[in-house]
Structure 1
């Protein structure tokens, strides 16, 4: 994967706080939320470059096996 660009972004503190709260509700970092919103805006405007990669997956990998709480039998 190519190295990700680093940028300095100046935001109004109230805007930053609102994005940070929104990110927390969606279990994303503030940085990931900003990238998500920028990508969505590019898509909606029809300006997303074809060569843009997918958002990197962050956090824990998804569980592939059965849930440890499951016993395999149906309970009523």
Structure 2
């Protein structure tokens, strides 16, 4: 009787382990899918923001080309100074 009980318990533990493994695997796959979707949404949001900033920058350069050129020259000069050190 004891041997039969141990056999049943072993089988039950094996089934439980397989069920737990399958559930953990499904949960991990769902988590990966959710993270992928969130990453794509964040990427699209950043891309939209970058496009908006680019459009604003182009508009400002067209409004004041001389000022924009002076600012670009100043930034280039600062980068040159920093790169020497």
Asked which structure has the greater CA Rg, the reply is 2
TM-score, with structure 2 as normaliser: 0.25
The structure, 1 or 2, with the larger RCO (C-alpha pairs under 8 Å, 6+ apart) is: 1
TM-score, with structure 1 as normaliser: 0.27
More helix by share: 2
